[in-house]
Chain A
Amino acid sequence: MSAPTTASTVDAGAAAPTRRRGEAVAELFSQHGAVAVLVLLLVVGSLAFDTFGTVDNLSNVAVQGSFLAIVALGVTFVILTGGIDLSVGSVFALGGVLAAYGSGGGWLTAILLPVAVGALIGLVQGGLVAYAGMAPFIVTLAGLLGARGLVFAITDEGNTTPKVKSEAFVSLGQGHVWEATWPVVIMLALFAVGWVVRQRSRAGQVVVATGGGEDASRLMGLPVARVKLGVYVASGMLAAFAGALNAARSSSGVTTVGVGMELEAISAVVIGGTLLSGGRGNVTGTLAGVYLLGVIQNLINQVGSLTSSIQSVVSGGFLLVVVILQTLLSPSRKT
């Protein structure tokens, strides 16, 4: 008579690890899926198109993606805290224009001026979010509108496109170190720093803790407000710096760049496995997310017969898959 009881106990014991294993697989995919798909696409692309795997083409993809990558790096940290930064596209454009103006004073001014203004914008936004408790979405939406407005205000309603005047600064955007162009090298260096901050610094732990449970973090005595302020400042600086690099590459501060870039950055971050609600994610995922978007676009260009709007459909689809997986894994879901 005791047999059924025993059987059901064993079943219950066996059921749990199975579910955990399934969860672990899904978790692995949501965290590293972007890297896996990226590698897959690179292999398939090289086999399918002679022109895809060439050094020229790939380094082109690398450079084109590097600006978005730098922007997305900052956005990653903002999203990890459970926030959002919609202002980065506008700040990117503002950074480019300021860099072009600043290049009159040499390459250093061309970098410092936009970065300082980006930091200031981040400081205001972060302050409102961290200390006044305002919603990041609204604060940075205001930032998006405000920064874009500033771009037009200082360029005669967008009719002037300031030229970069410093040769040294232009070479920062176009020059090479060995085989790689400067923007790619700088981007990789920034990601290396970002990786260390995220994985190995106390601040990085607090960033993730804040996104994972803000009230709990506060009760644990963690410097939640300071860290929130910090991520918006970093995001503003990185977006403006990326804009400056872009200006160096195109030798001018184009006023129309960066429109919708915040959405691309957010997509890349989420595709890279960072939870949109914060608390989990890493910078390597973001890097893979950025280049996944870049490679998809490049491959569609290789096919030639497809219009570039297909790219949006494909990226959108991939984003959807990742978000569905994340929902299945979200902490609020009862297991």
Chain B
Amino acid sequence: MTDDVRPPVLQAQGITKVFGGVRALSGVDFALGEGEAHALVGENGAGKSTLIKVLTGVHRPDEGQVLLGGEPRSFGRPLDAQQAGISTIYQEVNLIPLMSAAQNVYLGREPRTSFGLVDTRAMERDARELLDSYGIDVDVRRPLRTLGLGAQQMVALARAVSIDARVVIMDEPTSSLEPREVRTLFEVIARLREQGIAIVYVSHRMDELYEVCEKVTVLRDGRLVHTGDLADLPRLELVAMMLGRTTSEMSGSGVTEFGEEAHTQAAEPVLVAEHLTRKHEIEDVALSVRPGEVLGLGGLLGAGRSETLKAVAGAMPLDRGQVSLDGKRVRSGSVPAAIRAGVVLLPEDRKAEGIIPNLSVRENIVLAALPRLSRFGFTSRRKQDAVVRTMMERLHIKASSPEQPVAELSGGNQQKVMIARWLAMSPRVLLLDEPTRGIDVGAKAEVQALIDELAREGLGIVLVSSELEEVIEGADRMVVLKDGAVVAELNGEEITEERLMAALSTETALPADPGAPPEEASRG
């Protein structure tokens, strides 16, 4: 499969790019062979996105050159790179939701009739054939937004490859996909590679990198750290290179930054939730958290983990069930009531549900706590500053000043600002939904260490994460959900990848039913 004499289809030589005095890339080389799947990894700020933007003509390099098929090329705009055969699909699907799938595939290069008019029928037929050929079955006439995220991503991919692409760059393509959709994507990638199309694959998910890619290039602080075969590179070493640490430093602890010992917990639970039920979402879910305990919610995408958190936080109306704090019942379905009681939720979608990008770090932190920091409707700036200063120090929020707009911070620091906002409310229970999604490895470690520390200080924490090792190492106790219901509870030493997998793969926790079809066990 790997043939080293193969001429690289896309090559970058000595790329340097400076933004306002900051070197985003310095002298980076990159080579992509035909039909190769090449992982591009690095922490946020390592220069991955800058390199991609240079390759796709969004930025011009200050030094160095891009070669396509051995020829030096200079792309003035993204369109030039596209026409030369370099397509990009982005983390968030960058298509037009209101237009049909077919229109999205062919926008700007629609098939035309002899009168120069768009030939809608030919366009829809071509789009259907194209998607069919990748085994994707969607109604191409439906507006894109009515399709699932996975299907949308596939449409983006179809568009990318149908422009006679020789190189497809994928930036976090799976971050919003379900496992089944990820499978389809991987199959499509395999087929593209058979056709000789090279893939640049950017992802934070190690499992995917090792499954999809044969080569890897590691960037750190704008410099090339390593490039070579991925299979030869142990995971730990890859993480170490991204972080700029040595392997021995890493292997002492696990992959995550969570402490090894269980936290000392009070005996009485601070939060008890019972019979949480909402039609089609969750069914009779019960959980409890003790002060100082990290409760992990295990399960696959769509198992009802986020829904459970929302139910506990009052952010989802319930058909049945109740939440009580210190034995006192909290009015269900009311976020303010939950917050007053001391239960706060850090939502999954930071951008849409959490930070307010144009406001400053200070404003974002004190937002929820404003009523406590004000009297007769006037806020005390002095109290605000005190809270903000404490939080920024305690959580190591890296910002030029409290007045810096949150939008300018890195994903990890944005997440810390969100956590700070809730800590300013002195909560009893913190519900964390994917607290480390989309943030770089270093910030991830810091957030994990922070979760650990908060639990040690006596906060009850409920943690949801799609990264297995994060919940496994982070949780003191784990409630495993499947199809919206609790299927298992694991304690301390029982929390292992094997036990979790076992809990997830035993089809249901229902008592054995002689009438149940046997193949159920193999599903999912």
* Interface residues of A, Cβ cutoff 8 Å to B: 1-2, 5, 8, 11-12, 15, 20, 196, 199-202, 204-206, 208-209, 212-213, 215-223, 275, 279-280, 331, 335
CB <8 Å contact, A221 and B515: no
CB <8 Å contact, B78 and A217: no
With contacts A15-B280, A20-B146, A205-B118 known, is A221 near B108, CB below 8 A?
yes
> A12 — nearest CB in chain B belongs to which residue?
B280
- Chain B residues with Cβ below 8 Å from A205 are 99, 103, 107-108, 110, 118
- Chain B residues with Cβ below 8 Å from A331 are 97-98, 145
CB <8 Å contact, B94 and A201: no
CB <8 Å contact, B94 and A1: no
CB <8 Å contact, B516 and A2: yes
Q: Pick 12 A–B contacts, CB within 8 A, sort by A.
A: A2-B516, A2-B520, A15-B280, A200-B120, A202-B110, A204-B118, A205-B110, A206-B108, A208-B98, A219-B94, A221-B77, A331-B145
CB <8 Å contact, A5 and B508: yes
CB <8 Å contact, A212 and B78: no
4 A-B pairs with least C-beta separation: A221-B79, A212-B96, A200-B117, A216-B94
**Bound: A1/B103 CA distance, A:** 47
Tell me whether B382 is interfacial, beta carbon within 8 Å.
Answer: no
B278-316 with Cβ < 8 A to chain A: 279-280, 283
> B94 — nearest CB in chain A belongs to which residue?
A216
CB <8 Å contact, A221 and B117: no
* Interface residues of B, Cβ cutoff 8 Å to A: 77-79, 82-83, 88, 90, 94-99, 103, 107-108, 110, 112, 116-118, 120, 145-146, 159, 279-280, 283, 483, 508, 510-511, 513, 515-516, 520
CB <8 Å contact, B117 and A220: no
- Chain B residues with Cβ below 8 Å from A218 are 78
CB <8 Å contact, A5 and B90: no
Q: How many A-B residue pairs have CB under 8 A?
A: 92
B159 CB, nearest partner CB in chain A, Å: 8
With contacts A222-B107, A222-B108 known, is A2 near B515, CB below 8 A?
yes
> B146 — nearest CB in chain A belongs to which residue?
A20
CB <8 Å contact, B510 and A209: no
> B118 — nearest CB in chain A belongs to which residue?
A200
A127 CB, nearest partner CB in chain B, Å: 19
**Bound: A286/B510 CA distance, A:** 59
Interface of chain A, main secondary structure: helix
A213 CB, nearest partner CB in chain B, Å: 5
Give the contacting residue for B96; candidates A11, A217, A275; CB below 8 A: A217
B119 CB, nearest partner CB in chain A, Å: 9
- Chain A residues with Cβ below 8 Å from B95 are 213, 216, 220
CB <8 Å contact, B510 and A280: no
CB <8 Å contact, A212 and B97: yes
> A8 — nearest CB in chain B belongs to which residue?
B280
- Chain A residues with Cβ below 8 Å from B99 are 205, 208-209, 212, 279
- Chain A residues with Cβ below 8 Å from B283 are 8
Give the contacting residue for B510; candidates A1, A212, A219, A220; CB below 8 A: A1
CB <8 Å contact, A213 and B96: yes
Give the contacting residue for A213; candidates B79, B94, B508; CB below 8 A: B94
- Chain A residues with Cβ below 8 Å from B107 are 205-206, 209, 217, 220, 222
With contacts A196-B117, A218-B78 known, is A2 near B145, CB below 8 A?
no
CB <8 Å contact, A213 and B515: no
A58 CB, nearest partner CB in chain B, Å: 33
> B119 — nearest CB in chain A belongs to which residue?
A200
CB <8 Å contact, A5 and B88: no
- Chain B residues with Cβ below 8 Å from A215 are 94
- Chain A residues with Cβ below 8 Å from B516 are 1-2
> A200 — nearest CB in chain B belongs to which residue?
B117
**Bound: A158/B499 CA distance, A:** 86
- Chain A residues with Cβ below 8 Å from B110 are 202, 205
